[in-house]
Structure 1
Amino acid sequence: MDPRLALLVASLLEAYLLQHTLLPGWAFRTATALTLAINLGLQLVWGVFIYPYFVTPLRHLPTLSGNLNHARVLFDDPRGRLPLQWMKTIPNDGLIHFRDIFNRSFLLATNHQALLDIMSTNTYDFEKPWRLRDFLARIIGFGLILSEGVAHRKQRRALTPSFHVRNIRALYGLMWEKTGLLMGELQKEMDSNEDKVEMSVWASRLTLDIIGPAAMGRDFRSLHNPENKVADSFLAILEPTREKMAFLAVNGLLPQWIARRLPWRLNRVIDTETEFLRHMCKEILVEKKASIASTKLTAAELEADILGTMMMGGDFSDDELVDQMLTFLAAGHETTASAFTWGCYLLTQHPTIQTQLRDEIRARIPTGHSAITHNDLESLPLLNGVCQEVLRLYPTVPMTLRESVRDTTVAGQHVPRGTRILLCTYAINRCPEFWGADGEAFRPGRWIDTDEKGNAVVNQRGGAVTNYAQITFLHGQRACIGKDFARAELRCALAGIVGRFAMEMQDPKQEIHIGGAVTTKPVEGMHLRMKRVEGW
């Protein structure tokens, strides 16, 4: 029996025995309170001072000194810098151990076997910590990202057909059309603002106008409307500030029934904005049902978007459909917007690669108004290499947390129930063990091979010995279901913008910081100076 459980049983037994004596009521209450206090104190001593240092099987792993490392990781700048440093400097066999302020154990996964066990072999032995899930559900609902166990398997099975590669490729026309609209709007802003553009805002509008029609048949037209309420709501929730990081940390420590009652401005912001987004999703669902009833849509017409496919399947209640809509609306636009923004930044830092990419795009696509197919973009070696490097170096979610829900094994190490596991995307994606000494360098060429005729061709490994060297979209049963959708969006957006414009930073000396509570965004925004390159 767990010693902590034994202490609790002992306290209850003592209370029972006291209740059946002839002690006066006040004496009984005093004795009971004293007994419980002593046993709670013993549990505290056991859990904080004895078990973490002398009993846990994790104590033999390489262990960081101090108990503030969890906080240091959370407020790291950029998030993932410290775990990457630990991977480089601390000898280990796949796991590095550290403790938080309460001496609870955390493990950092560092090698192929550890990542394989967590994300594939023993996937359902690990879940997102409940308090973190409960907080995130305020924003995106209990959709596919936050569901666990049997519920997750059911939801993923129902949603997988919508994300078949055939369906994603059918969306290239929509993505390219919206990219064309973005190019027009950027030109207008350049004409009125001395070629200056703040790209992160435009990136968010573009991806919102793609995910709207693709996921729920609603065009938000945020590219044409700078006052778009949907875009403003996500900006208010996800704008990168240190206050939001602190807010996330508090919500990870406290139950929601306490955290939501704190007199904190961000509580009001999140409640207001998520109420609007949830109400909007309910309206879209009602409209969709009315359209089905009045027009008798065929199955093919109904399945033109993800919402229609979910409704056809009949696997979700109305509330569950709204949760899934919120999930895809948030994850499906903010993540790719972040990647596109960082892609523009990297290309300003490497003007030669930017020029080479423009030449490649123009050699394959005659003009920015030409129609394209998926093959036009998926087969371009340098475009593929640039997109892969963007996703590798600037993963939208730099780290994610898991908790073992039962005793399990990772990289040959027994991991007790309740252990927190840190999957640090930022660190894994740059780790020299996987990527060599230039793992932190932007080198699209690592994703390009040469065929027997000497032609450049796409490769999907980047020279790494395992596909677990890049975990931007995770792997296994919990891999991002929209990864192909995100890659297609990024290809279209970068091809259109680089094909038509040359980009540089407004201030070449500006230092860009990676921020954001959940996703990564440039804290300062992305202020570019753009020029149209004639002939396309």
Structure 2
Amino acid sequence: MHIRDQLVVNLIASAGEAYVLLRTTLPDRAFRQVFFWAFGINFAALATWSVFIWPLCFNPLRHLPLAKGHLHHAKMLFDSPRGKTPLKWIRTIPNDGLIHFRDTVNRSYLVATSHQALLDVMSTNTYDFEKPWLVRNFLARIIGFGLILSEGGPHRRQRKALTPAFNIKNIRALYPLMWEKTGILLSQLEEDIKENPSGFNTAGNIELSVWASRLTLDIIGPAAMGRDFQSLTHSENKVADSFLAILEPSREKIAFLALNFTLPQWFVQRLPLRLNRVIDTEVGFLRQLCHQTVQDKRTALQERKSQQEELEADILGSMMTSGDFTDSELVDQMLTFLAAGHETTASALTWCCYQLCQHPGVQTRLREEIRATIPSADYPITWAELEAMPLLNGVCQEVLRLYPTVPVTIRESVRDTTVAGKRIPKGTRIVLCPYAINRSPDFWGETGDEYSPERWIDTDEKGHQTCNRNGGAATNFSQITFLHGQRACIGKDFARAELRCAVAGVVGRFEFEMQNPNQEIRIAGAVTTKPVEGMHLRMRRVEGW
């Protein structure tokens, strides 16, 4: 126990002893006066110690490079794009892996910036850090206490039970499903083009981000829970609409997020706020949907109506047959996979098309590579073909680097520990910022902000091109879109495979540009990264594929 905690314990013990002594020796009125004066003085002393003396004179972090000011933790929530402030610090504040900043009451926060610091937080000392309880409690309202929000022993147990479902063999077996759904998307986009002509060269106006979300929802549904939502072919789809209502970016949602990260849930949920009603309604529907799916599959399992292979054809079936999860835990896992499993790739596909509009030469070369490898959209692709295309993989990797779905996340030390050789007291909050790390000049040089798919392509002396996995950076921790270590995103290979299929299909079939080339696209989102204005494209089918 360090000195700050010991002081609090001593004060409480002394107050208890004083209370007993005074209560037995003084009349009621005198006792109340003395007690409240003593309480006020002790509270003031404790506040002075916690807010001024400890942070400024004793905190071992006080000597670290400091970002001056006291509102940075709040400012980060309203950054556009989120992660902009930590990236500025990385570029301007010399540091050895940790940058220190304080909130309004001088509590310490750190931003991890180096390979060693990131390694310690995400791998070496992973279980010394947890998501702060206020953060977890709010997010659990939406996705339940599934794999993302579990900590410590429960997380290790869940991770071990779920890992087999996400091995590379099982992911590659899902390519036919992903390609089939991509084909449906292409057909629906063609219909949408006809219904919304732009009056220019047989092109049509498309809002891509909604279509991207529907595609990925229709993939994660069968893959995760054996349920096809058919949101691509049904314009009115309650599941798709519910996620849109919860995740659609707005300043209102960011302010609501800040409120929930500051105040306890029991208080926030009682406030007469519109978003409280939205979350209760939409999450209530999604939770009931997941519960019913679990019950249907449980009935099939108990009655032996389905073969073992059929039951294990999706993630939910694999979890149920393993016997490691209660029905309530299964519902939480399904909520987690539905939300995280489709939003990541939908966001990446949207930003990918945006960058290809900004770089039409890359779009043309990519279309040529796709068509040279895949004869048509009806061709039964293989994982080997998609994973071997250098430019396709470079385009996908680069957009995942520049537009991480979750741009900022936070951890809190649950015990005294060390990071990058520095002692970290219990209760210190550490910011992990994929947006900043993925663009950091320390890892990517001066071109970190630039869109360059070629950095993910190696060319040998004979001009033969192959994919690389590091983008030319010296460490895997230069890109932390999916984090690393024991808390890395379990579905990262699923997301990459899904993105390859979607990009190959859309770019192979269509040529596209921005409807308004001068439109400013702002990066926002309460938890995830999305374009505030949507992604309005002018698309045209390119014949011959």
TM-score, L = length of structure 2: 0.97
* 1:196 Cα deviation after fit: 0.4
* 1:320 Cα deviation after fit: 0.4
Contact 1:190 1:196 in 2 (8 A): yes
The residue that corresponds to 1:339 in the other structure is 348
Superimposed CA distance per residue, residues 86-126 of structure 1 (whole angstroms, 9 cap, x where no aligned partner): 10110000000001112111000011000000000000000
Match of 1:504, SS?
strand
* 1:311 Cα deviation after fit: 0.1
Distance 2:245 2:191 in 1: 25
Which of 3, 10, 24 matches 1:6?
Answer: 10
Match of 2:446, SS?
coil
2:126 pairs with 1:123: yes
Superimposed CA distance per residue, residues 236-286 of structure 1 (whole angstroms, 9 cap, x where no aligned partner): 111101111111111111111111111111111101111000001111111
Which of 254, 260, 263 matches 2:272?
Answer: 263
* 1:13 Cα deviation after fit: 2.0
Match of 1:386, SS?
helix
The residue that corresponds to 1:410 in the other structure is 419
* 1:452 Cα deviation after fit: 5.1
2:76 pairs with 1:67: no
Contact 1:8 1:39 in 2 (8 A): no
Which of 229, 242, 250 matches 1:241?
Answer: 250
The residue that corresponds to 1:144 in the other structure is 147
Which of 133, 137, 148 matches 2:136?
Answer: 133
* 1:484 Cα deviation after fit: 0.2
Match of 1:20, SS?
helix
Superimposed CA distance per residue, residues 489-534 of structure 1 (whole angstroms, 9 cap, x where no aligned partner): 0000000000000010000000000010000100000000001111
The residue that corresponds to 1:170 in the other structure is 173
The residue that corresponds to 1:58 in the other structure is 61
2:30 pairs with 1:27: yes
Contact 1:15 1:35 in 2 (8 A): no
- Alignment map for 1:469-488 (pairs within 5 Å): 469-488=478-497
Contact 1:281 1:322 in 2 (8 A): yes
* 1:16 Cα deviation after fit: 2.0
Which of 349, 353, 360 matches 2:358?
Answer: 349
**Which residue type is aligned with residue 189 of structure 2?**
L
Distance 1:65 1:11 in 2: 37
Superimposed CA distance per residue, residues 174-230 of structure 1 (whole angstroms, 9 cap, x where no aligned partner): 000000000000000001101000000000000000000000000000001111000
- Alignment map for 1:82-481 (pairs within 5 Å): 82-194=85-197, 195-451=204-460, 453-481=462-490
Match of 1:437, SS?
helix
Match of 1:464, SS?
coil
Structure 2 spans left out of the alignment, 5+ residues: 198-203
**Ranges of 4+ aligned residues in structure 1 off by more than 4 Å:** none
Which of 73, 78, 81 matches 1:78?
Answer: 81
TM-score, L = length of structure 1: 0.99
Superimposed CA distance per residue, residues 38-62 of structure 1 (whole angstroms, 9 cap, x where no aligned partner): 1111111111111111110010001
Match of 2:171, SS?
helix
* 1:478 Cα deviation after fit: 0.2
Match of 1:197, SS?
strand
**Which residue type is aligned with residue 113 of structure 1?**
Q
* 1:34 Cα deviation after fit: 2.1
* Percent identity of equivalent pairs: 67
Identify which range, 445-454 or 331-340, moves more after superposition: 445-454
**Which residue type is aligned with residue 294 of structure 2?**
L
**Which residue type is aligned with residue 478 of structure 1?**
R
Superimposed CA distance per residue, residues 417-461 of structure 1 (whole angstroms, 9 cap, x where no aligned partner): 000100010000000110111011010100000235431001001
Superimposed CA distance per residue, residues 322-352 of structure 1 (whole angstroms, 9 cap, x where no aligned partner): 0000000000011111111001101100000
**Alignment root-mean-square deviation, CA:** 0.9
Distance 1:441 1:156 in 2: 35
Match of 2:540, SS?
strand
**Which residue type is aligned with residue 531 of structure 2?**
P
**Which residue type is aligned with residue 493 of structure 2?**
D
**Which residue type is aligned with residue 23 of structure 2?**
Q
* 1:9 Cα deviation after fit: 2.2
Distance 1:441 1:38 in 2: 56
Contact 1:14 1:35 in 2 (8 A): no
* 1:140 Cα deviation after fit: 0.1
Distance 1:303 1:453 in 2: 46
Aligned residues: 535
Which of 48, 51, 55 matches 1:48?
Answer: 51
Distance 1:157 1:8 in 2: 42
Contact 1:199 1:341 in 2 (8 A): yes
